[in-house]
Homo-oligomer: A and B are copies of this chain.
Amino acid sequence: QKRYTITLLPGDGIGPEVISVAKEVLKLTGSLEGIEFGFQEMPVGGSALDLIGLPLPKETLSAAKQSDAVLLGAIGGYKWDNNEKHLKPETGLLQLREGLKVFANLRPASVLPQLVDASTLKKEIAEGVDLMVVRELTGGIYFGKPRGFSTNENGDEIGFNTEVYATYEIDRIARIAFETARKRCGKLCSVDKANVLEASMLWRKRVTAIASEYPDVELSHMYVDNAAMQLVRNPKQFDTIVTNNIFGDILSDEASMITGSIGMLPSASLGESGPGLFEPIHGSAPDIAGQDKANPLATVLSAAMLLRYGLGEENAAKRIEAAVLDALNRGFRTGDIHSAGNKLVGCKAMGDEVLKS
């Protein structure tokens, strides 16, 4: 009997609801696959601020580090929006990523045939979209120093941040991206702003250098403004995209909206070793929190990524993915993906349908 410890971080807003569904799904999957899970639930984000006064309590980080994988719900909410930086829920998430050293964020965006109508794009454009954004997650302008506030020579207040990448940071994310592309359709598009930014010029140089290790993967480069356009014009042209932290933040959200069902999209954040961090792409949706309206499937699919990438339990991952598809095929939909002719259910009921499958 295999045994894994999973840290659950419900977080804020709809986080607790979707985590509770994912936990049940993991439990059942484990019992069917002969895996035992030990769960420990810890506070993070706004709820940790309210409870302990810090967005990432020490105990939460050390519990996460000692476990085999971490599953996060969502963080943030209006309540804490005007907090100072070190007391923002978001800061807790960034500290968690940094603390777990999960530099590679994998964000799949694919349009399921069952949900193609949910996209705002025309059917012929949306149909068959299946791409993966590999986002660098622990570097760049999110973490670069110097940063802060100051005054310039005219006595004017300034706010500043540093976009910085070192060769080793680019090399390691590039390798993950090439490996990912190799397992998919063998096409990698690296996105940067190398016509303007030095940090991007180094990015392009290193990605090009690493390409020689992967002769079977076809590498292309694209400027970020063009990538933002091409995702709207013809998202099917992309297989795997690799980009820096801030461009990845923007483009992966854009890509997820192109699928029309961001309530469906999971993500995995991985380091060289140690536990990975798995979370839905969507936010904490404070406006529907506690109303049993949230779509739990992104978190359930994040649990599947946790099994696949975090624990190497491919069969258990596939079982969850198949159960999600089955619930969709049987016509069950939460509000965000609902359309005429289907059965509208709440968060918990959607979870029950997955459990039945």
Q: CB of A148 within 8 A of chain B?
A: yes
Q: CB of A327 within 8 A of chain B?
A: no
Q: CB of A99 within 8 A of chain B?
A: no
Task: Evaluate contact between A225 and B199: CB separation under 8 angstroms.
Answer: no
Partner pick for A158 among B156, B166, B196, B224, CB 8 A cutoff: B166
Partner pick for A159 among B88, B149, B200, B252, CB 8 A cutoff: B200
Task: Evaluate contact between B148 and A163: CB separation under 8 angstroms.
Answer: no
For A200, list chain B residues within 8 Å (CB).
159
Tell me, rounded to whole Å, the shortest Cβ–Cβ distance linking A273 to chain B: 19
Closest to A124 in B: B120
Task: Evaluate contact between A226 and B198: CB separation under 8 angstroms.
Answer: no
Q: Which A residues, 184 to 202, have Cβ-Cβ distances below 8 Å to chain B?
A: 193, 195-202
Residues of A within 8 A of B (CB-CB), count: 63
Q: CB of A340 within 8 A of chain B?
A: no
- 12 extra interchain contacts, Cβ-Cβ under 8 A, other than A224-B250, A228-B250? A120-B234, A121-B122, A141-B197, A149-B198, A156-B168, A158-B202, A159-B199, A160-B164, A160-B198, A225-B250, A228-B257, A232-B258
Task: Evaluate contact between A193 and B246: CB separation under 8 angstroms.
Answer: yes
For A249, list chain B residues within 8 Å (CB).
193, 224-225
With known contacts A122-B120, A147-B198, A256-B229, A162–B159 Cβ distance under 8 A: no
Q: CB of A291 within 8 A of chain B?
A: no
Q: CB of A3 within 8 A of chain B?
A: no
List 15 A-B residue pairs with CB atoms under 8 Å apart, sorted by A's residue number: A121-B121, A121-B232, A147-B197, A147-B198, A148-B198, A159-B198, A159-B200, A160-B164, A162-B162, A226-B253, A228-B228, A228-B254, A229-B262, A231-B254, A232-B254
Q: CB of A210 within 8 A of chain B?
A: no
Task: Evaluate contact between B160 and A161: CB separation under 8 angstroms.
Answer: no
User: How far is B161's CA from A198's CA once the two chains are assembled, in angstroms?
Assistant: 7
Q: Which A residues, 12 to 59, have Cβ-Cβ distances below 8 Å to chain B?
A: none
User: How far is B76's CA from A349's CA once the two chains are assembled, in angstroms?
Assistant: 55
Tell me, rounded to whole Å, the shortest Cβ–Cβ distance linking A343 to chain B: 24
Q: Which A residues, 238 to 261, have Cβ-Cβ distances below 8 Å to chain B?
A: 246-247, 249-254, 256-258
Produce 1/0 per residue, A128-145, CB < 8 A to B: 000000000000011010
User: How far is B76's CA from A316's CA once the two chains are assembled, in angstroms?
Assistant: 50
Q: CB of A319 within 8 A of chain B?
A: no
